Chains A and B, each alone.
Chain A
Amino acid sequence: MSEPIVWLTIFTLSVFVGVEVIAKVSSTLHTPLMSGANAIHGIILLGAILVTATTTSTLGLVVGLVAVVLATVNMVGGFVVTDRMLQMFRRKPAPAKSGRSAAGGPQS
């Protein structure tokens, strides 16, 4: 693992990006946004694959496989359920309305 300071830099910048990028969300989208962010941390699947693919013990393999299953449920289920929630924006009879919400809801 390389220089901790490099990692700290990436971490700090990501914090600011994470806050800035959602700063203007309208309250209608709080739930889907939470669910989408929830799906994104399912990326721990990648970490689970890494450790499981390199483990040499049986116990490690079993624990690793459990982690893979859990992480996949988080990631796949998370994205699918978020998409289901967002189907309300699929048919849009009133473009004016969505334009208003896009301009920043009352909550921001």
Chain B
Amino acid sequence: MTPTWVQLVYLACAVCFILALKGLSSPKTARAGNLIGAVGAVVACVVVFFAIPEAVLQSENIPLILVAIAIGAVVGVVGAQRVQMTQMPQLVALFNGVGGGAAALVALLELGDMTSAGHEPVGFDLAATAFTVVVGSVSFAGSMVTFAKLQELMTSRPVVFPGLPILFGGSLLVAVALSVVTVTNPTLWFGVVLALAGLLLGVLLVLPVGGADVPIVISLLNAFTGLTVAAGGYVLGNTVLLVAGTLVGASGTFLTKLMAAAMGRSVMNILFGALKGGSTLGAGVASDRPVRSGGPQDVAILLGYATKVIIVPGYGLAVAQAQHTLRELVDVLEERGISTDYAIHPVAGRMPGHMNVLLAEAQVPYEQLKEMDDINGEFKQADVVLVVGANDVVNPAAKTTPGAPIYGMPILNADEAKQIVFLKRSMRPGFAGIENELLFDPKTTLLFGDAKDTLGKLLASVKGL
């Protein structure tokens, strides 16, 4: 039996996690919230060493565990510190995946323990164990595929092949059947097969999801891992795991819905849209229709003699590491008395809020960043909208083309401005893989090239006016 004082510490840690989530939902308290969560987690993991009864403790394992923790901590800290802010979404996916994998392994060990000699496993425990094994494996495999998609180790476009729905449905049935078998006739090997079925299911779940929707899937898998941890807590008879896991499972599910709503999508449509045919598929190829392209000089004149400029930053800006050059350009424009704002789409970048993080890193003053709802009415007055490495978030297809994968997503009304300038590397479509009509608008000028390079030339030209 776990000592009472340990149970009390667990309770305190559970409260820490609640406060952490509460803190994380407001900018003022977000950092403190994260810190409280970290303290709770560390305390819980120290205390657990004192909670293991002498009778079952294998004390020679303890040094090895400490070494394993040290290795994990170094990998985690180095990974988190080194990663480019642009690659942060895939890092979160990776962290989520290993968490799910760990939960599945813990459940397999527990299953091995339960089925070993002298134990009479209880139905509820076995059901929770089976759940942890299968959902943990789904989360692990699914997260690895999202990682590969975001890291562009594989295509970020939806992968669909004939028979995928049947294969997916079949694997789901097999996983459920195996779970039942694991409960009624528990052996470790059924658990292992169940884990394999979970891995397959995870891959099949994420393959048909298009690139732009991948962040939503990360959030969903995050909630899955939370529920897995909760079930693991039940199996191990540990309250802090149950509470923490459930909190993450519930808030993660809710957050997934919020994110999907911000993109004007439903979670079902994101997961299964491609299976129904076409709905997350786009053209995906560059068109050869005529566009008007200009040089840095032309655009510099447009900008230099404007009275109101709105910048629409996108992921391409971050990839080119051009945030600092852009900030310099904005400084010069402001010096000339031109009102300049950044219009931040909720899902600019790769995840909701990602662009704010990237621009804050380049020391762009927070008050220049305008959220979509605040700035959308101002585009009509803007002389020039400068779209830097963004595409889908200004694509009018979201309003006009019911079949488009981004249809219904709220967009920035860049098309209402007097002039639109796109800084683009090529005519390649955006992350959603569809063509942007705005590129062919007579009001639009295209400036091809690497964002950092082009912005540098633009900066020099504006300075020379």
Which residue of chain A is the closest to B344 with respect to CB atoms? A28
B22 at the interface (CB under 8 A from A): yes
Q: Is the CB of A41 within 8 A of B28?
A: no
Q: Tell me whether A49 and B48 are in contact in the complex, defined as CB-CB below 8 angstroms, given that A17-B18, A27-B352 are known contacts.
A: yes
Q: Is the CB of B238 within 8 A of A50?
A: yes
User: What does the 1/0 interface line of A1-38 toward B look like (CB < 8 Å)?
Assistant: 11010010011001111110111111111111111111
Q: Is the CB of B25 within 8 A of A73?
A: no
Q: A38 to chain B: closest CB distance in Å?
A: 5
Q: Name, among B30, B35, B38, B245, the residue most crowded by chain A CB atoms within 10 Å (CB to CB).
A: B30
Q: Tell me whether A10 and B243 are in contact in the complex, defined as CB-CB below 8 angstroms, given that A37-B255, A88-B361 are known contacts.
A: yes
Q: Is the CB of A79 within 8 A of B230?
A: no
Q: Is the CB of B219 within 8 A of A34?
A: yes
Q: Is the CB of B346 within 8 A of A107?
A: yes
Q: Is the CB of A40 within 8 A of B30?
A: no
Q: A44 to chain B: closest CB distance in Å?
A: 5
Q: Which residues of A contact B105 (CB under 8 A)?
A: 48, 63-64, 66-67, 70
Main SS at interface, chain B: helix
Q: Is the CB of A38 within 8 A of B366?
A: no
Q: Is the CB of B30 within 8 A of A86?
A: yes
Q: B96 to chain A: closest CB distance in Å?
A: 5
Which residues in chain B, 50-82, are within 8 Å of chain A measured between CB atoms? 51-52, 56-58, 61-62, 64-65, 68-69, 71-73, 75-77, 79-81
Q: Is the CB of B24 within 8 A of A29?
A: yes
Contact residue among B31, B112, B248, B249 (Cβ-Cβ distance under 8 Å from A86): B31
Q: Assuming A63-B105, A94-B366, what are 15 further A-B pairs, CB within 8 angstroms?
A: A15-B250, A22-B255, A28-B352, A28-B371, A29-B25, A32-B24, A40-B20, A42-B99, A46-B241, A57-B112, A61-B64, A72-B69, A87-B360, A98-B28, A106-B372
5 residue pairs bridging A and B, Cβ less than 8 Å apart: A41-B228, A57-B112, A60-B112, A88-B366, A102-B28
